[in-house]
Amino acid sequence: MPRVLTDAQLKAYQQDGFVSPLDCISSEEANQYFRIIEDYEKMHNEDVSVNIRVRAVLAFKWMIDLARHPQIAGALQDCIGPNVMLFLSGVWSKRPGTDTFVSWHQDGAYNPFDRNTGATAWIGLTDSTPEKGNIRSIPGSHREALEHEERFQKDNILSRGQSVPEVDESVAVDMPLKAGQFSIHHELLVHGSAPNTTDSRRLGISFACVPAEAKPLSGPNTGVLIAGDNHPGHWVLNKEPAFDLDPVGLAELKAVQDAYRDPEATKQITEVLG
């Protein structure tokens, strides 16, 4: 399996819990996807994250292809191993003139698997800068799972307000991206983001993945294979969309969302579910 990350990038991921920025698609291509999302919103008169959530890749063919882009899939393989299973993906939007933010959290603190070795790739479809509220992280914080509080705050994108109570923000670092670039963060990296203070939207897509070897302990055990094999068979693979808004993908998406809404399963869900 040829490596995508350089030795230095892989070392950064292992030491700091994240690697960023990584090149992927051109800013023009990113802008085309951004426009498709805005067109969808205009046509449906609703924000994309209202119904396209939890496993957004099942709604759009281009999005599932993007998750499998050799740069993204390959970098994920370098970080978590050859068999990469996607179980959550969402569109993270911060419109200008809002106070939308993301509280400090670890994605993996709520993950219902037998290990915490997953990682999330986050790709910017717009630029993501400190002014626009890029992801910020605490380097090296990925070595242990921390207790979280659930604090409801209306502008927090995390619907349960999952928060690590005490974070030393003086050591936080920005993870800026140009449109078309991506970052990878370990599922235990403490990260969050501040409001967008500019006059243009910040939008990105997350692909949260675990090694296919990770065993779901409870709740949904379906996923989308991004790279490698479904080895050793812990997962049921989703039916995939053949085109954007394919009823096959949308039905699968609804089934995944319903499964996550099951009271037992929701105890463990991470961030993207309302």
Interface residue with ligand AKG among 33, 60, 122, 260 (CB under 6 A) is: 122
Per-residue contact flags (x/-) with ligand AKG for residues 189 to 208, judged by CB under 6 A: --x-x----------x-x--
| Shortest distance in whole angstroms from residue 158 CB to ligand AKG | 7
Which residue type occupies 231? H
80 binds ligand AKG (CB under 6 A): no
Q: How far is the CB of 251 from ligand AKG (least distance, A)?
A: 25
**Least distance (Å) from ligand AKG to the CB of residue 186?**
11
Residue 50 or 236: which CB sits closer to ligand AKG? 50
By the rule CB under 6 A, 107 interacts with ligand AKG: yes
158-185 burial, b at 16+ Cβ within 10 Å, e below that, comes to bebbbbbeebeeeebebbbbebbbbbbb
Asked if residue 252 binds ligand AKG (CB under 6 A), the reply is no
Give the nearest distance from C-beta 243 to ligand AKG in angstroms.
26
Verify binding: residue 163, ligand AKG, rule CB under 6 A. no
Q: Does 126 bind ligand AKG (CB under 6 A)?
A: no
Nearer to ligand AKG, 117 or 230 (CB): 117
The one among 125, 135, 138, 224 contacting ligand AKG by CB under 6 A: 135
The reply to whether 87 sits near ligand AKG by the rule CB under 6 A is: no
Question: Which of 92, 104, 110, 113 lies at the binding interface for ligand AKG (CB under 6 A)?
Answer: 92
**Residue 34 touching ligand AKG (CB under 6 A):** no
Binding footprint of ligand AKG, residue count (CB under 6 A): 10
* Binding-site ranges for ligand AKG (CB under 6 A): 92, 102, 107, 120, 122, 135, 191, 193, 204, 206
